[in-house]
A = this chain, B = another copy of it.
Amino acid sequence: MNIKEKIAFGKINQMRNDTLTSDKIRIGFVGGGPSSFIGYTHRLSARFDNRFNFVSGVFSQEEKKSKEFAISLGIDPNRAYSNYKEMADKECKRNDGVEAVGIMTPSGDHYSIAREFIQNKVHIICDKPLTSSIEDAEKLEKLVEDNKIVFALTHNYSAYPMLREAKKIVENRKIGEVRLINVEYPQGYTAGIKKEEEASTLKWRLDPKMCGPSMILSEIGTHAHHLLRYVTNLEIEEVCAEVKTLSPELSVDDNAFIILRMSNKARGMIWVSSSATGGENGLRIRVFGSQGAIDWLQDEPNILKFTELNKPVQLITRGSSMVSDFSLESSRVAAGHPEGFFEAFANIYTEFAEEINSRKKNIISTPSFPTISDGVKGIKFIFAAKNSSDHNSKWQKI
């Protein structure tokens, strides 16, 4: 009985649920302390479907602050730490220690932090991008594979139900052979920053050790890159890029145009920017094939525009009877009631929990969420694009 039949026969009325068939996963967090938006996001996402118990964390490098914040979250302060090594060490000695850890620090620290937990067989859910160097990325990948760790990277956009519908449409060849791709992510975040505000606004993003060789590619470039690969199931073979600082007030790059040669001879374009004045989070992906096209924009995340050759544009809506099971299973509320950013983020947490439960039962599946391998490819993309730009936009193989 598939999800549509279950809905039709009244077996279920909602799609995702908050009921458990296994124990909740014991999770801890490294990063995301007081006043962190991404901390709230990770925790809310973990609460969404009732899959985790929050048991531990490093919420500050000051022990007192870390413990106080733990209390405010309802976590035992004895399990709040001031550094991740101590946390890994102590938690892993407990019978009821963390089974999973969410990492939301700058990417330059991801490898070192993850390593401590992975060596103790703790599963990892990690903010993007994976690392700030290719070397770290590859070492991390090896660790994850050697230790059979469940590793999720929070490229949350790919978990929007209508992007998953887009993936299915492409996969089922409803648009035929992919020929042309355009992904854009025009933010205006840095357009108004003054030189004297740069440090307080961009913080660690100014430090290549933490952020990698390109601010804009690290911040949103890998989101665009992952989305393109996720939806099309194609790899990028070569890039030709112009990565520049357009605002004279900034010391890091704020715009990238990247032309793409795809594995199947298609051509594509990625444009990411924080200097698109007035832009908020207008992530958009368009894929054109021999028989049709899809078009998705984060500003209207519950709609997918799907066009078949010589037919009208169709507005496929989330949660409707028109979408695939895969998309429906990623939904929570009936068509017409808007879902947003948090639901997509929560999908990754819920699927991460389900994957851990599968592993406990020795079931090997292909996760729907972004994995360590996606993360490594993202870092290689950043370096290739930056390298192309540094060589006057010469084509670079990835």
A: residues with CB less than 8 A from B are 10-14, 16-21, 24, 34-37, 40-41, 43-44, 47-50, 69, 72-74, 175, 179-180, 182, 184, 186-188, 191-192, 200, 240, 242, 244, 246-247, 255, 257, 259, 261, 266-267, 269, 271, 273, 275-282, 286, 288-293, 298-302, 306-317, 320-322, 332-343, 392-393, 395
Contact = CB atoms under 8 A, between A and B. Distances in A.
Contact of A180 (B246, B269, B315): B246
Q: Give 7 nearest A-B pairs by CB, closest first.
A: A280-B336, A281-B336, A278-B307, A338-B340, A19-B72, A337-B341, A340-B340
Contacts of A343: 340, 342
Contacts of A21: 72
B273 A271 contact: no
Contacts of A72: 19-21
B314 A37 contact: no
A254 B124 CA distance: 45
A398 to B, nearest CB: 16
A269 B257 contact: yes
B50 A50 contact: no
A110 to B, nearest CB: 20
Contact of A299 (B44, B336, B393): B336
A312 B315 CA distance: 5
Main secondary structure of the interface of A (DSSP, over half): loop
Given A14-B35, A19-B34, A73-B50, A332 B40 contact: yes
B333 A288 contact: no
A280 B312 CA distance: 11
A225 B3 CA distance: 35
A9 to B, nearest CB: 10
Contact of A315 (B286, B315, B321): B315
B312 A293 contact: no
A247 B290 contact: yes
Given A14-B35, A341-B338, A288 B278 contact: yes
A242 B240 CA distance: 9
A232 to B, nearest CB: 14
Contacts of A308: 278
B35 A11 contact: yes
